[in-house]
A = this chain, B = another copy of it.
């Protein structure tokens, strides 16, 4: 390949990567029934997301319980997602505690048709920055699709630094970083994102996680929202995302503020347990759909989720 053609190929790959990792990415649950993936329910969830018009599907994220599933289950879920996504690009989570397992998952995800993969530095023994650079470098050798660096300290217990972002984005495969929630106030979010932007090349996108901060983050310079909410309630998430990405801060913040009761539940119980209860209440998932030992919300907590859904007119 000549230098020009290699450059063109790289530019094309980057453009594809940017397309996959911009806009609203919806993270579906992977519901279990009697300790097995409920494939029928999962297919229904994916089809519903595709119909809603989100920009990508983030399968097997933390919300998709990837950490609890074995390799065969994850391969099957990746295949089901692509099959039922109706052409919507699918980003598949390939994280594992051991590098060789993540490499195998990268292979499976690509074979299933993933448009991109996402990799978190899942940890048991605390990881050093050098361990993490080694992990991403080793896994990148498997990839012919873009990679999202998945920074989620609440579950991985690893804290990235801007310096580490800079080291990792030297890898051509890295197309986007899924960052933890910036401060929810508009100006603080913009300043925070501007500082991160200085650490990474312009070709690399920044996507926000932490749904309550999404409006501020999209208005403040993020180009993607990796959204738990959108995986189960795509409609309200699209209202926030479309307004924010169009620069309409008034409508974006209003749409986010309308969900304040839901954000409060996310803070108190963690977003996963809340959206699992929502999916069960809406009939999208069977009862007790989380992998044990995770118990779903019960009793008063579950009743409160139902009350909030009713108050927000989110129950059909």
The docked-state distance in angstroms from the alpha carbon of A100 to that of B131 is 30
The A107-154 residues at the B interface (CB cut-off 8 A) are 121-122, 124-128, 130-132, 134-135, 138, 154
Chain B residue numbers with a CB within 8 Å of A295 are 128, 130-131, 134
Name the segment of A22-30, A168-176, A248-256, A286-294 touching the other chain.
A286-294
Q: Which residues of chain B have C-beta atoms less than 8 A from A100's C-beta?
A: 35, 292
Interface residue range, chain A: 20 to 34
Does A98 have its Cβ within 8 Å of any Cβ on chain B?
yes
Contact with A293, one of B67, B70, B132, B272 (Cβ below 8 angstroms): B132
Asked if A265 CB lies within 8 Å of chain B CBs, one says no
In A25-39, the 8 Å CB interface with B consists of 35
Number of this chain's copies in the assembly equals: 2
Is A56 interfacial (CB 8 A cutoff)? no
Closest Cβ of chain B: how far from A154's Cβ, in Å? 7
The B-contacting residues of A in range 146-196, CB under 8 angstroms, are 154-155, 157
CB distance from A51 to the nearest CB of B (A): 28
The answer to whether A99 touches B293 (Cβ under 8 A) is yes
Contact B35 A155 (CB under 8 A): no
- The reply to whether B155 and A124 form a contact with Cβ atoms under 8 Å apart is yes
Contacts of A135 in B (CB 8 A): 292-293
Q: In angstroms, how far is the closest chain B Cβ from the Cβ of A75?
A: 15
Query: Given A125-B270, A270-B125, A272-B125, is A138 in contact with B98 using a C-beta cutoff of 8 Å?
Result: no
Cβ-neighbour of A68 out of B62, B98, B126, B154 (below 8 A): B98
- Nearest chain B residue, comparing its CB with the CB of A127: B293
Q: How far is the CB of A236 from chain B (nearest CB, A)?
A: 23
- Assembly CA distance A70 to B67 (angstroms): 13
Q: Complex Cα distance A68/B130, Å? A: 18
Q: Is A80 an interface residue (CB 8 A)?
A: no
Is A282 located at the chain interface by the 8 A CB criterion? no
When A and B form their complex, which 10 residue pairs have the shortest distance between CB atoms, in order from nearest?
Answer: A67-B124, A135-B293, A99-B292, A131-B293, A68-B98, A99-B293, A35-B100, A98-B291, A124-B155, A68-B97
23 contacts between A and B (CB under 8 A): A62-B124, A62-B125, A68-B97, A69-B98, A97-B291, A98-B291, A98-B293, A99-B293, A100-B292, A122-B124, A125-B155, A125-B270, A125-B272, A125-B294, A126-B270, A127-B294, A131-B294, A132-B293, A134-B292, A134-B293, A135-B292, A135-B293, A138-B293
